[in-house]
Structure 1
Amino acid sequence: LDAAAGAHGLMYAPDPGSVGISTIGGNVATNAGGLRGAKYGVTRDHVLALDVVLADGTLIHTGRDTIKGVTGYDLVGLFTGSEGTLGVVVGATLRLLPRPARTATASAFFDNIELAARGITAITRSGARPAVLEIMDGATLAAIDALEGTDLRSRGGALLIAQTDGFGAEEELDVVTAALDGAASRIEIAVDQADADRLLFARRRALPALEAIGRPLIEDIAVPRSRLAEAVRRIGMIAAEEGVRIFVFGHAGDGNLHPIIVTEHAPAGAPVPSLAQAAADRIFALALELGGTITAEHGVGRLKRAWAARELGPEVLSLQRSIRAVLDPRGILNPGSSL
């Protein structure tokens, strides 16, 4: 969709890391985010209308083709991110935006990921609003190097990739790099679009790189950006105390971290090792303790149902179940999933 829009000078702003394989339907189902989320938000911010088949077979159209409209409840927002539990989305009207006139990209290397996380806070305070602001720890960089033959890990122990866009892209990137001056051990400006694309390609290869070395347990918490440094420091403590490998990367511009626990390769459907599950539970508890969420963009599914109840609380959980019961009284839509 984004490529087709590009032929008309437009873009579809959501840009998931799995862009090569993910679908519009899947993104709507989970309210997915992506690399450009720091500036452009998540899928819900770009859905104008939906065609939905309800549990009784009724086809409804909800939403509108206008930019604004507040008639009735926001059912588009309700169905977006509902993981197929309220209806089956069969059509979507999506918001397209003008493709930015210019982009500017920089990579900033740090001695460790905690320093990189502090850099996020400095950028936020600078007033700059990058379209892309991605973070990767040293272990992830090494895994990408092993898969792709790059040399990212040799340049530092953590990496921030920042991309600004619009008519003032270069000037805004200057603000970003100035905010990192003194904290970053090395800052490099992409000299052309091909250089920028190589950086973003490396970020998209983070998960495949981890899949090449083991079985990843994919998680996606979010915390307030002011607490990112504390989050990554304590995730490192959890890894050491539980004796598991945890690789950290994510969409740091909106506080979204992917602490990926990697265990030995195992057959599909094999249970999650107990140490990995214990580490995951501690990461979820940490996210809530820091005022964050157990899932920023991947959804609840089956694995996080108990933690969703803890985050939402009994009153909100009861309300959400009541809404689901109205739309699916027989429980036939994605049974066992979500709430």
Structure 2
Amino acid sequence: MTDPLVARLRSALGDDAVVDDPDVLDSHRNDHAKFCTAGAPRALVRPSSTAEVVEVVRAAGELGVPIVTQGARTGLSGAANAIDGCLLLSTARMTQILEISVEDQVAVVQPGVVNAQLSRAVLEQDLFYPPDPSSWEMSTVGGNIATNAGGLCCVKYGVTSDFVRGLEVVLASGEVVRTGRRSAKGVAGYDLTRLIVGSEGTLGVVTEATLALRPAPEAALTAAATFRSIEDGIAAAAAVMASGLRPSLLEFLDQPTLRAIQDHRDMGLPEDVGSMLLAQSDRGTRAAEDVARIAEICTAHGAIEVAEASDAEESRMLLEARRLVNSALEPLGTTLIDDVAVPRSQLITLLRGIAEIGAKYDVLICCPGHVGDGNMHPTVVFDPADAAAEARALEAFGAVMQLGLRLGGTITGEHGIGTLKARWLETELGPVGLELHRRIKAAFDPGNLFNPGKVLL
């Protein structure tokens, strides 16, 4: 028997835009988050325009079918996971860069544009789109907006929300609203744009984004410093940030992460290395001076060795350790990636606490992170075939989030809530804050059809 929703959508969008093949649906059930449940979707639909999204939303709404919007499904919180009976709305065909304006320094794009594609396109106009999540070669602008994604350059440039000027959004009613504006300034009314950024598909379907751009950065140089302890590495990072320098990247690797990297690929790291700091300056002719100053600061804080790049190739080589983290951890077992952020003044306490949590629950926790803005990624590694180890890993994961909150931080700096962290959200927001979130959700989506069960339980 033909599904009435599938038949209606095929009539409106074409047969190739609507998929109900079980194998295809199964391959689209999950994002990259582990331990997040995923249901069986009713169908997958791939609209290519705002008008087609409106048709999808109205058809689903009339039949009471929930919608889960998906981009590239590179997320790490389960926000794009299917729920039973839902309609998966993929933005994979909405890939147009509609405009790049040199004069206004903005780009207007559809949500399916890949981050790296946009970055390269604007660079051809000597412009720069700073948000750069690690998945930038795969993740889409729409997904970055959904989670308010960050990246390595956040320490200098900020996160996705800092670059979203305006949005076009299809609401649950099928109405289309434009939020924000193209101009650099504008404070009229509530800031609906920032409300939607980071809402993980629970308030509407983003169909177009107006993004702020910057002049293209100058050439960058990198420094890498090793230390005998995490305390020395964190102290050096704090001193760099307090020095008046504005590194375009400031990354931290702890000893367990470095050991995994060294075992994965010989980087020449001695066994007594307790931490590594990676810093970069993108100030062109002034970058060498910045890197030299960073090297001096690291040396003054007990660095064992400091390497300073003299050109782009050496910079790339020094950053190789950071790029190898995920590959290095993969052979060790399943990874459960946390995403806490704390004030920089609390980083040493956070890292000491993470080590204690790892010992308490008898699990390996590696902790790379964006030390310049206090956003760390404690990664619990364990054997998935060992049920007891899995249980301990989940306990450790929660304990890390509780530690981050106790230190005045947050349970997520850039990955979002999804389903992975939803049960901890009230702890951070408080009951009144959580109730306000629910009222906002009800105002946008009274039928609770947009990504139900995500963010808010």
Equivalent of 1:22, from 122, 127, 139? 139
Equivalent of 1:118, from 235, 259, 262? 235
Rg larger in structure: 2
The answer as to whether partners of 1:142 and 1:153 remain within 8 angstroms in 2 is no
**CA pair 205-55 structure 1, distance change in 2 beyond 3 A:** farther
Residue 324 (1) aligns with residue 324 (2): no
Show the counterpart of 1:255.
374
**TM-superposed deviation, 1:266:** 5.3
**TM-superposed deviation, 1:113:** 2.3
Q: TM-score, normalised by structure 1?
A: 0.94
| Structure 1: runs of 5 or more not aligned | none
Residue 83 (1) aligns with residue 200 (2): yes
Show the counterpart of 1:184.
303
For residue 208 of structure 2, give the secondary structure of its aligned residue in structure 1.
Answer: strand
Code of the residue aligned with 2:251 in structure 1: it is E
| Structure 2: runs of 5 or more not aligned | 1-117
**TM-superposed deviation, 1:63:** 1.5
Q: Deviations over 1:198-255 (max 9, x none)?
A: 3334313312321232110011100100111111111111111110000000111000
Alignment of 1:90-129 (within 5 A): 90-129=207-246
Q: TM-score, normalised by structure 2?
A: 0.70
Show the counterpart of 2:343.
224
Code of the residue aligned with 2:176 in structure 1: it is L
For residue 221 of structure 2, give the secondary structure of its aligned residue in structure 1.
Answer: strand
> After TM superposition, where is structure 1 displaced by more than 6 Å over at least 4 residues in a row?
none
**CA pair 164-330 structure 1, distance change in 2 beyond 3 A:** same
Alignment of 1:198-209 (within 5 A): 198-209=317-328
**CA pair 312-276 structure 1, distance change in 2 beyond 3 A:** same
Deviates more, 1:30-39 or 1:18-27: 18-27
Alignment of 1:155-304 (within 5 A): 156-167=273-284, 168-182=286-300, 183-265=302-384, 273-304=390-421
For residue 221 of structure 1, give the secondary structure of its aligned residue in structure 2.
Answer: coil
**TM-superposed deviation, 1:191:** 2.2
Code of the residue aligned with 2:198 in structure 1: it is G
Deviates more, 1:322-331 or 1:152-161: 152-161
The answer as to whether partners of 1:133 and 1:160 remain within 8 angstroms in 2 is yes
Code of the residue aligned with 2:375 in structure 1: it is N
For residue 124 of structure 1, give the secondary structure of its aligned residue in structure 2.
Answer: helix
The answer as to whether partners of 1:109 and 1:155 remain within 8 angstroms in 2 is no
**TM-superposed deviation, 1:185:** 1.1
Deviates more, 1:273-282 or 1:197-206: 197-206
Code of the residue aligned with 1:176 in structure 2: it is I
**CA pair 154-6 structure 1, distance change in 2 beyond 3 A:** farther
**TM-superposed deviation, 1:282:** 1.2
Show the counterpart of 2:52.
none
Code of the residue aligned with 1:175 in structure 2: it is R
Residues in 2 aligned to 1:15 and 1:266: alpha-carbon distance in whole angstroms: 34
Code of the residue aligned with 1:198 in structure 2: it is M
Residues in 1 aligned to 2:435 and 2:221: alpha-carbon distance in whole angstroms: 47
For residue 128 of structure 1, give the secondary structure of its aligned residue in structure 2.
Answer: coil
Residues in 2 aligned to 1:262 and 1:88: alpha-carbon distance in whole angstroms: 35
Deviates more, 1:171-180 or 1:312-321: 171-180
**TM-superposed deviation, 1:154:** 5.5
**CA pair 101-215 structure 1, distance change in 2 beyond 3 A:** same
For residue 49 of structure 1, give the secondary structure of its aligned residue in structure 2.
Answer: strand
**TM-superposed deviation, 1:149:** 4.5
**TM-superposed deviation, 1:152:** 4.1
Residues in 2 aligned to 1:272 and 1:299: alpha-carbon distance in whole angstroms: 25
**TM-superposed deviation, 1:139:** 2.0
The answer as to whether partners of 2:383 and 2:389 remain within 8 angstroms in 1 is no
Show the counterpart of 2:16.
none
Residues in 2 aligned to 1:194 and 1:18: alpha-carbon distance in whole angstroms: 22
Sequence identity (%):
46
**TM-superposed deviation, 1:157:** 2.7
Residues in 2 aligned to 1:24 and 1:209: alpha-carbon distance in whole angstroms: 28
Residues in 1 aligned to 2:368 and 2:249: alpha-carbon distance in whole angstroms: 13
Deviates more, 1:96-105 or 1:44-53: 96-105
Equivalent of 2:431, from 297, 302, 314? 314
For residue 222 of structure 1, give the secondary structure of its aligned residue in structure 2.
Answer: coil
Higher relative contact order (CA 8 A, sep 6+): 1
Code of the residue aligned with 2:364 in structure 1: it is R
Q: Deviations over 1:48-76 (max 9, x none)?
A: 11111111111222121111111111111
RMSD: 1.9
